[in-house]
Copies of this chain bind each other. A is one copy, B any other.
Amino acid sequence: MQKFSVSPDGEKFLLPTEEEGLKEREEVLRITEEQRKLGREIVAVQGMGFVGCVMAAVVADSENEKGEPWYFVHGQQRASVRSYWKVHKINRGIPPVKSSDAEVDRIFKSTVSQKKTFRATFRNEAFEVADVVVVDIQLDATKPAFGEAEKGFCDLAAFRDGIRNLGKHIQPHCLVLVETTVPPGTCERVVKPIMEEEFTRRGMDIEKNPPLIAHSYERVMPGARYVSSIRDFWRVYSGVNAESKRRAKEFLSRVIDVKNFPLTELEDTNASEMAKVMENSYRATNIALTLEWARFAEKIGVDIFKVRNAIRKRKGTHDNLLRPSLGVGGYCLTKDPVLANWSMQSLFGIDDMLDMAIEAVNINDTMPLHTIELIQEVIPDLKDVKITVLGVSYLEELGDTRHSPSATLVKFLNEAWAVVKAHDPYVDFWPEMENVPLYTDLKVALKDAEVVIFAVGHKVYKDLQPKEILSMTGTKPLIVDCSDFISDTKIRQYLGLGCAFRGVGKGAK
């Protein structure tokens, strides 16, 4: 049976045959030789996901003072049904990720098609020839029960496999730079032993050639500054030994804008790995705090968003304060505290718990239930109530639905027997919630709605006029604002038009 990998735009790619594999092998070796002659070092990036593919392009785009490329990059992606299509797309100069950042298109075109310093491949020869391998394998936390993040854990099996594969293929001088957000301790307690085992198995002397392993985390922000957020931003790094640190510093200094964003070296990889997950735990805790104050504010008629703005005037001490909302989504804040807590207990065997951080995850994961409580203040029984959810991505102006709080919202609305329709201008397909009717036409989504939930702050929603909404619903719906998306003026207009209003952090108006 032939197997296909299908790209999001529907193009089918047959998985490679053995013969094609051998041909590709020759191609990788030929190109590598050619590039070495041009004086370029060889980098392989492992994993062409959300971060890896753009990081690969940024590396391929880096140049020395004479304007010559530092590196040739093999973007390595396994020939899996799920992801093999990326190899073909990239090699046409097309990014395998959607973005509102125009630089994403530009950098793929420039590095793949013009400079020819970036090419994707499914072959392990990419690792065999590499001077540096950047690891961008996906690593997730599993939370087996809703609102019980303390039971969360991290399954390292796929990550270990990826690392073992590197151990089998890389040369002893190759630096393995882990960029994946990992549980603290991973480089020292997971990556290093595997590499040493594989090196030894290959007959290498690990006393003479200890594996070179470093950790450095990106702080990618999806959206309009996607490429820049990888290249033009502070980096923290460390390595398992002095040579690893030196090599990581050299590599990052060539690739990242270290003049404007100087590197921070930490003592060991435990510290660097911890910095990343603590950073996100800090933000998660910060958001969780706002929910209880939002509830308080709602009940005493205070607008928490105005209070927040007043507090944030104090730059450097109070301006990190985040805002309450429908909930917290995305790939980092929802899992990083869990990775840290699991690491402490399982990688280090410490009998303790990161209470504040884990409690924050629980509060944030269950935050969408509060929006449902607000609706039920007006409509206690949601059975057969027609509800339209505006926005299903986890961030404004973005089509990414990973861990979106809208999914939790819709799930619980459905369990209360409401009739839910969803809309998002950036999302054609909602993989986590395939059975929910999702529209890109606002009129269809809003028709007959008795409740309209402003779940995500897409500009198109913020720009909507109350009269427009009501002409599309044909009703006088309850308006629910999840995070200060509707101005006071518009709230008054909705009330004047006979609608009820509820706002997270605002209450009834």
Contacts and interface: CB of A to CB of B under 8 A. Distances in A.
A34 interface: no
Contact of A274 (B184, B270, B275, B307): B307
Contacts of A363: 355-356
A264 interface: yes
A318 B318 contact: no
Given A311-B282, A319-B320, A300 B270 contact: yes
A303 B267 CA distance: 8
A302 B285 contact: no
B357 A292 contact: yes
Given A234-B314, A320-B318, A306 B356 contact: no
Contacts of A286: 282, 285-286
A502 B266 CA distance: 20
A140 interface: no
A413 interface: no
Contacts of A321: 282, 320
Given A234-B314, A293-B278, A271 B307 contact: yes
Contacts of A311: 275, 278-279, 282
A373 to B, nearest CB: 11
Nearest to A188: B300
B320 A271 contact: no
Nearest to A309: B264
Q: Which of A307, A348, A359 has the largest number of chain B CB atoms within 10 A?
A: A307
Contacts of A320: 316-321
A507 to B, nearest CB: 12
26 contacts: A184-B302, A185-B300, A267-B303, A268-B301, A270-B302, A271-B302, A271-B303, A271-B306, A271-B307, A272-B310, A274-B293, A274-B297, A274-B302, A275-B310, A281-B289, A282-B318, A282-B321, A285-B286, A285-B289, A289-B357, A292-B352, A292-B353, A292-B354, A292-B356, A293-B354, A299-B352
Contacts of A348: 299-300
Given A266-B307, A274-B297, A320-B320, A292 B219 contact: no
A340 interface: yes
A302 B270 CA distance: 7
A264 B313 contact: yes
Copies per assembly: 2
Interface residues of A, number: 60
A338 to B, nearest CB: 14
Q: Which of A283, A316, A318 has the largest number of chain B CB atoms within 10 A?
A: A318
Contacts of A271: 297, 302-303, 306-307
A15 interface: no
Nearest to A363: B356
A350 interface: yes
Interface in A294-347: 295-297, 299-303, 306-307, 309-311, 313-321, 340, 344
Given A271-B302, A281-B293, 17 more contacts: A219-B314, A266-B306, A266-B310, A267-B306, A271-B306, A278-B311, A279-B314, A283-B317, A283-B318, A292-B353, A296-B340, A296-B354, A299-B348, A320-B320, A355-B363, A356-B359, A356-B360
A310 to B, nearest CB: 4
A266 to B, nearest CB: 6
A175 to B, nearest CB: 21
A49 B266 CA distance: 46
Given A281-B289, A307-B275, A317-B320, A267 B350 contact: no
Interface in A168-188: 184-185
A406 to B, nearest CB: 24
Interface string A245-279: 00000000000000000001011101110110011
A186 B302 CA distance: 14
A236 interface: yes
A491 to B, nearest CB: 13
Nearest to A306: B266
Contact of A310 (B236, B309, B356): B236
A422 interface: no
Contacts of A302: 184, 267-268, 270-271, 274
Q: Which of A286, A301, A321 has the largest number of chain B CB atoms within 10 A?
A: A286
A288 interface: yes
B296 A350 contact: yes
